[in-house]
Amino acid sequence: MSTKPDHDDDAAQDKADGSLESLGLTRERAPRHIAVIMDGNGRWAQRRDLPRIEGHRRGVASVRRTVEEAARLKLEQLTLYCLSSENWKRPQHELDFLMHLLQQYMIEERQTIMEQGVVVETIGRRDGIPQEVQTEIDKTIQMSADNGGMTLCLAINYGARDELVDAVRRVVRDVQAGKLSSYAVDEDAISSRLYTAGMPDPDLLIRTAGEMRISNYLLWQISYAELWITQKCWPDFEESDLHQAIRDFADRDRRFGGLSEDF
Ligand code: IPE
Ligand code: IPE
Ligand code: MG
């Protein structure tokens, strides 16, 4: 039997399994939930004289790397913006390819997801998503539901305004049905009717490809998220970028409208 104190064993274990402490961070300083706007696939391809869809294909490799690293670091949740409610304006062949990639990802990653104990969930409206893609998504959601690890939330046909409209409709319905008093409509009444009900709010929002905008992503939930924007396009996003974002987050002074501890 080891004579070392338990916490030493824990620290050694943390280093070995690549948890956040191995980045030199305490869990209190680290984000629980990271949300990502995976942007710049098209530009990545255009700069290489490749068709836009090639950028999306390469983007899937970044998704794989990021999910695996986030799970290894034992984040509580990673939410990835896969398709916005505005992306339907794109050419049909690009949308078809995105749907194909989504379906393939669900099939090919299932085993890794199960090995890493990841729980898959989705947010967004299901309309417009082909039935065969929905079937593979649902299969992965069901299979992974009892896993105990990180939640991987995929925002598919997601729009924050749609989500708020849907939440308000649910509030109205519940008030009309007598399940909710109009006087009881507060923040909780709304957040518990969002697609993200029960999930922690993102602490850190990462956007690749340099745009300084939110593009209708998680408007309610990111009220106090720290923003981290990189010029790198999504297919070039690597584990080291995720580490840098987390380290920078740990150095931020989150005041939530109050005063910093130094004052
Ligand atoms: C992000 O890359 C992926 C999706 C929106 C589906 P883009 O396709 O928006 O790439 P850019 O912004 O045109 O470079
Ligand atoms: C946001 O990227 C949506 C996703 C990453 C899925 P967009 O490329 O659609 O955003 P805009 O059009 O530049 O705002
Ligand atoms: Mg874009």
* Whether the Cβ atoms of residue 58 and residue 101 lie closer than 8 Å to each other: no
Residues of the chain short of pLDDT 50, as ranges, are: 1-5, 11-16
Q: Can you read off the two tokens belonging to residue 178?
A: 């007598």
Q: What is the pLDDT of residues 164-185, one digit of tens each?
A: 999 999 999 999 999 999 999 9
Task: Give every CB contact of residue 134 below 8 A, 6+ residues apart in sequence.
Answer: 126
Record the pTM: 0.93
How many angstroms is it from 28 CA to the middle of ligand 2?
A: 31
- The pLDDT score that the predictor gives to residue 261 is 78
Q: What is the pLDDT of residue 2?
A: 42
pLDDT tens track for 21-64: 888 888 899 999 999 999 999 999 999 999 999 999 999 999 99
Q: Whose CA is nearest to atom 12 of ligand 1?
A: 40
Q: 32-159+202-248 is classed in which CATH architecture?
A: 3-Layer(aba) Sandwich (3.40)
The residue to mutate among 43, 102, 156, 207, having the most atoms of ligand 1 within 8 angstroms of its beta carbon, is 43
The number of residues in the chain equals 263
**The predicted structure's pLDDT at residue 262:** 75
DSSP structure class, residue 220: T
Catalytic (active site) residue 39: yes
Asked if residue 191 has its Cβ within 6 Å of ligand 1, the reply is no
Q: Single out the residue of 99, 95, 79 nearest to residue 87, CA to CA.
A: 95
pLDDT at site 9: 52
User: Quick check: CB of 218 below 6 Å from ligand 1?
Assistant: no
41 part of the active site: no
83 in ligand 2 pocket by Cβ < 6 Å? yes
Residue with tokens 């049909």: 92
Which pLDDT value is given to residue 142?
A: 98
Beta bridge partners of 207: 37, 229
Is 42 a pocket residue for ligand 1 (Cβ < 6 Å)?
A: yes
Task: Report how far ligand 2's centroid is from the alpha carbon of 210 (Å).
Answer: 11
